[in-house]
Structure 1
Amino acid sequence: MNLSIVIPLLNEAESLPELYRWITDVMHKNSFSYEILFIDDGSKDNSWKIISGFTAADPSVKGIRFQHNFGKSQALHAGFEQTKGDVIITMDADLQDSPEEIPELYRMIIQDDFDLVSGWKKKRYDSVISKNIPSKLFNWAARKTSGVKLHDFNCGLKAYKKDVVKNIEVFGEMHRYIPVLAKNEGFDKIGEKIVIHQARKYGTTKFGASRFINGFLDLITIWFLSKFGKRPMHLFGALGVLMFIIGFISACVIGAQKLYKIYTHQPAILITSDPWFYIALTTMIIGTQLFLAGFLGEIILKTRTNIQRYKVAESIGLTTSK
């Protein structure tokens, strides 16, 4: 199979019929063998009913419906687990991403041998103040922090080799950072393509201003995970040892000063009356706790099991995987 198209959605009933017709037209025109996976992230409108109609009429369409809204990352993760195509395309369901971009994205994966190609909405039809400016700032910070040189991390239109989506775990709100997750797993052939961005035709955006705050917090998380996620002892252990040594040396100096005053018969107060003694003691305690945090982190990494972060209410057209 050439293509798997994964489409996460939330309350997009008005857009779905037009999107489905548009995708199938492009697929037939380019003679692709394909599947379309709609992931309904707990919609309250008729989205699932419409998806069910697609699957009844077209065996290339499959659907997954979550029990409630778990988030876009979890929807993508569920879709990635079920994909069968050699190339996986992700796109939003709001008609702002054009299916006409799919053939070129496919070519860049197959012929140019990219692991991942991310869309770049160079010309946007969103609000300048509420989306464009925060998005530019967010993308700048992501480039500097991750080292991945993309202009638009948050573009939903992306193409992947099958191996990429089968070897990354998308969780929380990490869908913005899939290129970084891919790079961390060794898939560093990451390309970019300028794509058409269209104004929203139906409904309203499902993301508020909080997504930028959450995005920056997630950026810190993914920076930490990329640096120390597989070796927490390298951070916490190193800081802990350093702080313990500083505290221990400080305590020894304070003790030596008191002993010297006693030896030279100088007036000396009790060592426990010196505030610097407690500062040194606190530093040693914090250092010990940091070291233990790193040690426990290593144990957790060695013993953790995969935890499913969403619950599927029902699915259509999919075989149950063991």
Structure 2
Amino acid sequence: MDISVVIPLYNEAESLPELTDWIRRVMHANNFNYEIILVDDGSTDSSWNIITELKKSHDQISGIKFRRNYGKSAALNVGFAAAQGEVVITMDADLQDSPDEIPELYDRVKNQGADLVSGWKQKRYDPPSKTIPTKLFNAVTRKVSGIHNLHDFNCGLKAYKKDVVKTIEVYGEMHRYIPVIAKWAGFSNIQEQVVQHYPRKYGKTKFGPGRFIKGFLDLMSIVFVGKFGKRPMHFFGPVGVLSFIIGFFITIYLIADKLISIANGTVYRNVTDQPLFYLSLLAIMIGTQLFLTGFIAELVSRNSSERNKYHIERVI
């Protein structure tokens, strides 16, 4: 099979017939062998009924329905597991992504060797309350992840090599960082394609301002797990030891200063009366806790069933 189109959706009943017809026209015009996987993320409208009717008349369409709303990341993860195409295309169900972009996305993955091609909505039809935070979010993500050639990490329109979607795991709010996850998994050929963005035709957006806070927290999680997931002591250990050493030497200084003052017959206040004493005590406690955290995390990591799971590209 050439292409799997994975579409997560939540309360998008109005747009589904038009979207699937549009995809089918593009696929037939390019003679693609394809499938469309519609993942209903616990919709409360008639989305599932529409999917059921579409399935009756189109064998290429399949549907997956969640019992409740789990989020876009969960829908994508399940869709990736079900996809059989050599190239996997994801897009939103709100008709703001254009299926006309599929042939070029497919060509860049299949024939030009890209592991992942992310869409860039260079001209957006969203209000400033959405576009300004998005620009800030993308700038921070580029800086932290080291993927400097992407302008829009969160664009729903993406193309993946099959190996990518079968290797990565998407959960929480991690769908915003799929290029970062792919990079940490060893897929380095990550490209960008300028794509058309259309105004929303039906319904309203399902995302609120709280998604940016969750997004930054998830970015920190990805960076930490990607760098230190199999060696947590390398993160906690140095910071803990440094904090402990600082606290220890401050304590030695205070004690030595006290002893010198006694030897010289100088009236001197108690060590415990000085703010530096409590600072040193705090540094020692924090250092000890961080070191023990790294030690425990190392034990957990070494006893995990995933401890020796590595992504192998090929064997000859």
Q: TM-score, normalised by structure 2?
A: 0.91
2:207 maps to a residue whose letter is F
Structure 1 residues 256 and 236: CA distance shift in structure 2, 3 A: same
TM-aligned CA deviation for residue 214 of structure 1: 2.7
Partner Cα separation in structure 2 for residue 152 and residue 10 of structure 1: 22
Number of aligned residue pairs:
305
Q: Mapping of 1:267-278 within 5 angstroms?
A: 267-278=267-278
* Partner-residue secondary structure (3-state), 2:220: helix
Kindly indicate whether residue 246 of structure 2 is the aligned counterpart of residue 239 of structure 1.
no
Do the aligned partners of residues 67 and 292 (structure 1) sit closer, same or farther apart at CA in structure 2, a change above 3 Å counting? same
Q: What percent of counterpart residues are identical?
A: 59
Does residue 216 of structure 2 align to residue 216 of structure 1? yes
Read off the aligned partner of 1:245 and give its amino acid letter. I
Q: How far off is 1:47 after superposition? A: 0.5
CA 1:103/1:216 → structure 2, altered by over 3 Å: closer, same or farther? same
Which structure 1 residue ranges, 5 or more long, are not aligned?
307-322
Residue equivalent to 2:33: 33
Counterpart position of 2:24:
24
The AA in structure 1 aligned to 2:151 is H
Matches within 5 A, 1:76-225: 76-127=76-127, 129-148=128-147, 149-225=149-225
Aligned to 2:301: 301
Larger relative contact order (C-alpha < 8 A, sep ≥ 6)?
1
Please state whether the residue corresponding to 2:114 is helix, strand or coil: coil
Q: Distance in 1 between matches of 2:231 and 2:213?
A: 27
> 1:164 deviation in Å?
0.6
Q: How large is the RMSD of aligned CA atoms in angstroms? A: 1.8
1:111-139 CA distance string (max 9 Å, x none): 11000001111111112x12222222221
Write the letter of the residue equivalent to 1:3. Answer: I
For 1:72 and 1:229, locate their aligned partners in 2 and report how far apart those are by CA, in whole Å: 24
- Please give the alpha-carbon distance, in whole angstroms, between the structure 2 residues aligned to 1:143 and 1:270: 51
Structure 1 residues 199-208 or 290-299, which shifts more? 290-299
Structure 1 runs (4+) deviating above 4 angstroms are none
Deviations 1:28-73 (A, max 9, x none): 2211111111110010001111112222333322211111111101
Shift in Å, 1:295? 1.8
Amino acid across the alignment from 2:67: Q
1:320 paired residue number:
none
Unaligned 5+ runs, structure 2: 307-316
Distance 1:41 1:6 in 2: 13
Task: Give the TM-score of the pair, scaled to structure 1.
Answer: 0.89
For 1:305 and 1:73, the matched residues in 2 are separated by 23
How far has the Cα of 1:270 moved from its partner? 4.2
Q: Take 1:255 and 1:125, find their aligned partners in 2: how far apart are those partners? A: 66
The residue aligned with 1:287 is 287
The Cα shift of 1:211 comes to 2.2
